Structure 1
Amino acid sequence: MLIAMAGLPGAGKSSVAGELGRELAAPVVPVDPIEAAMWRAGVARSQPTGLAAYVVAEAVADGVLALGQTVIVDAVNAAAEARAQWRSLASRHGVPVVFIEVVCSDPVLHRRRLEGRSRGIDGFPEPTWESVERRRAEFAPWVEDRLVLDSVLDLSQNIATALGFLAAPTS
């Protein structure tokens, strides 16, 4: 299956993706390090590297799915076009796509986590709270079914919920 993570920067989606990857023995394909690698390789930041990073992540996920393995894509997935990209990829492989959106219902905690984190992605600046607020305003409404996890809850509790959701039969 293709698991597409979604959520604002700092909401906790990478933590969930990483732990799910460990639990499912599934590779996690994160978009941010791909974009940072493009910049380090000399691709100008003025180029559409965000879009390009999604396309590269899709190519990597495509290869994993071709091997018959589950893959987790770790990206904001705020745009309807990004979500359509994952649906299309899963359809091409005849596998289900599952969207998992991670939110942080406590804005004070969300901001504190965002401003206190350092992911160590060489060349990738941490987003500001103001940029997160702009992304929130631009986040496309959901039309897909998805699991919503609140990172205010304990990570292990969210992982148990996600694993239960992923194991449930699809209709």
Structure 2
Amino acid sequence: MPRDLSQDVAKVEAALLPQEMASTAHPVLIVMSGLPGSGKSYLSQRLADQLSAVIIEADRVRKTLFPRPTYDAQESALVHRTCQEVMRRLLRKGVRVVFDATNLVEFQREILYSLAERCDAGLLIVRTVAPEQTVRERLEHRREAAEAASDADWRVYRRMSRRQQKISRTHLCIDTSDDIDEAVRKVMRAVRRCGRA
């Protein structure tokens, strides 16, 4: 029996969205892109705090829908469709959204570009990077942390690094091993430039 997208969306909204969300006349979709351990989630949290934005974290959505995920193509497609619908609803309400996912493949990002356009939302793409040694240490630390949403390890990082595609749109590239406060300021300046802060 096929899954009901509306039920999956309702489940995610009930489990992961805050009770109160700030809205604005100028919503923005910040699309994070980067390999596991590159600092996407930490930077996403910092940005959400600064912007009063809601984070849609693909790993948490996956674990909400699939407590024992298989990471197969069908499951991943459903997770992304659910994320897209939740984000569409939020952007239509004027909520600023940070989409925390690897977003490594351009055709998947194109769906997000179109989503922002259809919702009349600003769009900012942020690619996160970090030196491999830093990534290895982060992934090892994450593996030891029971509350981590991501199951990615070094092997997954290496496999995904071969699939990463060039971003076709103007975007920021943030090395998260550098000063994170300056990185947040850089992203905030970009949000203001697109008239959305």
Q: Please say whether Structure 1 and Structure 2 have the same fold, judged by a TM-score greater than 0.5.
A: yes
C-alpha separation in 1, matches of 2:91 and 2:73: 29
1:43 Cα shift? Answer: 7.4
Instruction: Report if the CA contact (8 A) 1:38-1:49 is conserved.
Output: no
C-alpha separation in 1, matches of 2:53 and 2:34: 20
1:48 to 46, 54, 74: 74
1:26 to 45, 53, 78: 53
SS of the counterpart of 1:10? coil
Question: Where does structure 1 lack aligned partners over 5 or more consecutive residues?
Answer: none
Check if 1:12 corresponds to 2:52: no
C-alpha separation in 2, matches of 1:75 and 1:14: 8
Percent same amino acid among aligned pairs? Answer: 22
For residues 99-140 of structure 1, the C-alpha deviation after alignment (integer angstroms, 9 at most, x for no partner) is: 011110x2111111111113614xx56212121011111111
C-alpha separation in 2, matches of 1:5 and 1:20: 11
- Cα distance change of structure 1 residues 44 and 141 upon mapping to structure 2, 3 Å threshold: closer
Instruction: Report if the CA contact (8 A) 1:2-1:98 is conserved.
Output: yes
C-alpha separation in 1, matches of 2:77 and 2:188: 30
C-alpha RMSD of matched pairs (Å) = 1.9
2:123 to 59, 73, 97: 97
In the TM superposition, structure 1's runs of 4+ consecutive aligned residues that sit over 6 Å from their partners are none
SS of the counterpart of 1:127? coil
Aligned length: 166
C-alpha separation in 2, matches of 1:103 and 1:30: 18
Instruction: Report if the CA contact (8 A) 1:39-1:45 is conserved.
Output: no
SS of the counterpart of 1:145? coil
For residues 127-158 of structure 1, the C-alpha deviation after alignment (integer angstroms, 9 at most, x for no partner) is: 12121011111111221111110011122121
Instruction: Report if the CA contact (8 A) 2:53-2:98 is conserved.
Output: yes
Partner amino acid, structure 2, of 1:15: Y
C-alpha separation in 1, matches of 2:114 and 2:74: 21
1:46 Cα shift? Answer: 4.7
C-alpha separation in 2, matches of 1:125 and 1:101: 18
Question: Where does structure 2 lack aligned partners over 5 or more consecutive residues?
Answer: 1-27
1:93 Cα shift? Answer: 1.1
2:152 to 127, 150, 159: 127
User: Normalised by the size of structure 1, how large is the TM-score?
Assistant: 0.89
